[in-house]
Amino acid sequence: MYDMAILWEWLTFAVRWTHVITAIAWIGSSFYFIALDLGLNRNIPGPADGEEWQVHGGGFYHIQKYLVAPDAMPAHLTWFKWESYSTWLSGFAMLMVVYWAGANLFLIDPAKADLAIWQAILISGGSLALGWVIYDALCKSPLGERPTVLMLLLFAMLVVMSWGYNQVFTGRAALLHLGAFTATIMTANVFLIIMPNQRIVVADLKAGRKPDPKYGKIAKLRSTHNNYLTLPVIFLMLSNHYPLAFGTQYAWIIAALVFLLGVTIRHYFNSMHARKGKPTWTWAATVVIFIVMAWLSSFPGYESLDDSEARTLTPTEERFAQADGFQDAAQIVQGRCSMCHAREPVWDGIRWAPKGVFLETEADIARHAHQIYVQAGISHAMPPANVTEISDADRQVLSRWFRAAS
């Protein structure tokens, strides 16, 4: 069913669209509240802990913060949780659509670990759950009282995970999983800690009891972690579009360094919003770390992105290689695409196969049948601006080959 390819393509687009929108909503509201909280004017009379005046969209807003709660519970409370939940749910859907359904292409690297698809999926999903269990246990241990030591331990845990994922998955999947691992902790913080604690406090207030301030303290610790983890997660989620970030044996160090960037950049904004000056040294540190990351990506020992030696074709890929019209299609791809999509591209200005997509050997071509169909058969996305002048007749040959095997 070749039209499944079209449906699938639009499904992935819809899921990605949703994920980006929900992530914007979550991160936006979280940045807003962090800045609001840090910037509150705390020298005010009355029971409130602090207040702020803001102007936006033609109106003035007067916001007051109550540390535990106001004397009487308001009739209506706005909760912030679905921004976080929907980001995780749509992200998990994307993980399944891209990395589980496309395990052979994107998840499994037989040169590292020759996993069966079910094994790879088990590691993928299992590691996310395990990460939360370990993180939560650490926070609840006596270490929870020592935030700095705890932060260092968490950083160590992320470095270990970064290394571990790079031992079993493709570089691209490894960085993405480190992002998903971290983001799972962040959403679970909201779902399993911050929200339940807030509900206890609200219930206490409604019943006229005085809530234990420990709940607020716990929530604050988790939310501080989330604050520092936000930027690294976005980097890791975007990294799969940049082969240099993941296509090296040092990808695990690059990924670990990103977490330091999260701290240096957030520290600047946190200080600024708290009106504690502008520590510009953090930008110098950020640039230095970024340069180290870039340098690592081209370090001698650069691991080739080539995996073709290590892999035999799966039955589906084999079907594309046997299908009617494969030889003609392969010839077209080799003539119109491989100058860029090669292990050593010959096109001026292209130094690495774009997006890590190789279209050189017959095995490469059989493996990327779906992408070739979508990018060059039914759409004119490739070659860019049709620089290699593929004809419409050739595009039809590509489509016919794909359909013949679908």
Give the number of other CB atoms < 10 A from CB of residue 310. Answer: 11
Q: What distances in angstroms separate CA 316 from CA 4, 209, 313, one per listed residue?
A: 15, 64, 8
Nearest approach in angstroms of CB 364 to ligand HEC is 10
Q: Interface mask (CB under 6 A) for ligand HEC, residues 299-338, using x and -?
A: ----------------------------------x--xx-
How many chain residues are in contact with ligand HEC, going by CB under 6 A? 23
Establish if 8 lies at the interface with ligand HEC (CB under 6 A): no
Establish if 193 lies at the interface with ligand HEC (CB under 6 A): no
Which residue, 27 or 390, has its beta carbon nearer to ligand HEC?
390
CA contacts within 13 A on the Cβ side of 254: 28
CA dist., res. 395 & res. 139, Å (int): 56
CA dist., res. 143 & res. 148, Å (int): 9
User: Token match 């992105």: residue?
Assistant: 305
Enumerate residues 124-143 that contact ligand HEC by CB under 6 A.
none
Which residue, 109 or 364, has its beta carbon nearer to ligand HEC?
364
Among 121, 390, 397, 405, binds ligand HEC (CB under 6 A): 390
Nearest approach in angstroms of CB 345 to ligand HEC is 8
Nearest approach in angstroms of CB 297 to ligand HEC is 17
Which residue, 161 or 357, has its beta carbon nearer to ligand HEC?
357
Nearest approach in angstroms of CB 16 to ligand HEC is 11
Establish if 220 lies at the interface with ligand HEC (CB under 6 A): no
CA dist., res. 176 & res. 359, Å (int): 24
Establish if 176 lies at the interface with ligand HEC (CB under 6 A): no
Contacts 24+ apart (CB under 8 A), 215-222: 216/67, 216/68, 218/144, 218/193, 219/193, 219/194, 221/139, 221/144, 221/147, 221/150, 222/139, 222/189, 222/193, 222/194
Q: Which residues contact 13 (CB under 8 A, 6 or more apart)?
A: none
Report the C-alpha dihedral over residues 53, 59, 65, 71, rounded to 10 degrees: 120
Enumerate residues 337-356 that contact ligand HEC by CB under 6 A.
337, 339-341, 347, 350, 354-355
Establish if 162 lies at the interface with ligand HEC (CB under 6 A): no
Enumerate residues 237-276 that contact ligand HEC by CB under 6 A.
none
CA contacts within 13 A on the Cβ side of 17: 6
Among 382, 401, 402, 403, binds ligand HEC (CB under 6 A): 382
**Residues at the contact surface with ligand HEC, assessed by CB under 6 A:** 333, 336-337, 339-341, 347, 350, 354-355, 357, 359, 368, 371-372, 375-376, 382-384, 387-388, 390
